[in-house]
Structure 1
Amino acid sequence: MRSNYPQMQRWIGLSEGGFIDHPDDPGGATDRGITQATFDAWRRRLGEPLEPVRGISKAEAERIIAFQYLDRVGADELPAGLDYAVADFAVNSGVSRAARELQRVLGVTVDGVVGVQTLAAANRLSAQGVEEVIIALCEGRMAFLKRLRHWGTFGRGWTRRVMGERPGIQHRDNGVIDRAVMLARATRSTTVNTLVPGPVRAGQGKGDPTARSCALTRMFRRPA
């Protein structure tokens, strides 16, 4: 849902954190979830001179994330909660990978492109179906991450990013699976839950790469 973009951007920003250039990270230098290669392509597209990605502004990073990842996985048209689960997957592991896992879970043609067939299947889901797809998507994402050769280096951070601090789904946990399910439930209710993040842990980041995480410290309500 387009209206969820600001919240999704906040969560993705917290997971990605700031600048990281880990020698084992195949994505290379990354800041706010944007790799140097992606930043270079973005600047060329705009006809602007190339610059180091380190120090990229929050506003520019969010514009790139919306254009390069959220829009391309159809996050503006996916059900609430599922939109965030797919979007974070795309930022962390690529649009095609996230799209293919979504299509596999939905049981539609797997081609890596979120189009009318995929969106129609997602929007036919019941409320319970949305939660089940979120859970299956996150579990499939973890299975993919565990197969990567950098699992030994980044596995703990990836697990915390996707599944949170504790197994299962908790109201106050910080995993994508927790936030996505809670977002889906909040959207169905008569209130909107605003999640206030806690501190980001050091040493995680963008992935194929790595992952940063935060804790949800409290929730409050405001009129829908």
Structure 2
Amino acid sequence: MENNFVKCLEIILEHEGGFVDHPKDPGGATNKGVTLKTYKEFLKKDVSVDDLKNIPEEHLESLYKEKFWNKLSADELPNGLDLTMFDWAVNSGFTKPAKSLQLIIGAVSDGYLGPNSIKSLNKFDGDTQGLINYICDEREEFYHNLSTFETFGKGWLRRTSETREKALEMYFEEEE
């Protein structure tokens, strides 16, 4: 939903925490949810792990908006569903959550939430609460099938549960 970006980003950053370089994380060095690879792509230049450790706040907001929020057309998503999609995209890339949503709303499942997907979403006769729950269920199933689930699964499931709870709160606030 338009104007939800900052609120959703605050929730994302709570989940992400600070710098981590876990040897079993295929994403490698990460700070505040941003991988070294993503930071390099965003700045369009080579950066070091130290640069990543010291990522400025203004880079964070711009990066998250450009690399995740906008790619999900999140300003066009209903209240709560925007957070659900944004959080999964930050944690796992935007293609899988986009395809999961497209599948349930009857859009072409290409991993790109563009105007045609938004049109399908607006025509969808299901409820937003149901979509939030469906996306969170799909996310949990996705995690269970990853080879790194044993190492990271408990945290992923907790994060998904917290996201579901906050997304539903956002949805019901809108309904009041």
Q: Note whether the superposition's TM-score is higher than 0.5.
A: yes
Shift of 1:142: 0.6
8 Å Cα contact 2:105-2:124 kept in structure 1: no
Aligned length: 174
Consecutive aligned runs of 4 or more in structure 1 exceeding 6 Å deviation: none
The two structures have a TM-score, normalised by structure 1, of 0.74
| Equivalent residues in 2 for 1:37-48, closer than 5 Å | 37-44=37-44
Residue 56 of structure 1 aligns to a residue in which SS? coil
Of all paired residues, the percent bearing the same amino acid is: 32
Q: Separation in 2 of the partners of 1:188 and 1:125? A: 18
The letter of the residue matching 2:5 is: Y
1:93 paired to 2:85: no
Q: Would the alpha carbon gap of residues 40 and 185 (structure 1) be closer, same or farther in structure 2, given more than 3 Å must change? A: same
CA deviations 1:88-117 (Å, max 9, x no partner) are: 111111011111111122222211111122
Q: How far has the Cα of 1:124 moved from its partner?
A: 3.5
Q: What residue number does 1:188 align with?
A: 175
Alpha-carbon distance, 1:125 to partner? 4.7
* Cα distance in 2 between the residues matched to 1:183 and 1:117: 25
Any gaps of 5 or more consecutive residues in structure 1? 164-174, 190-224
Match of 2:102 in 1: 103
Shift of 1:122: 2.2
1:2-33 deviation per Cα after TM superposition (whole angstroms, max 9, x unaligned): 21011000000001111000000000000011
**1:23 alignment counterpart:** 23
Asked if 1:67 is matched to 2:54, the reply is: no
The alignment yields a C-alpha RMSD, in angstroms, of 1.5
Q: Shift in Å at residue 64 of structure 1? A: 0.3
Q: Where does 1:70-219 land on structure 2 (aligned, <5 Å)?
A: 70-125=69-124, 129-163=127-161, 175-189=162-176
In structure 2, the residue corresponding to 1:99 is in which secondary structure? helix
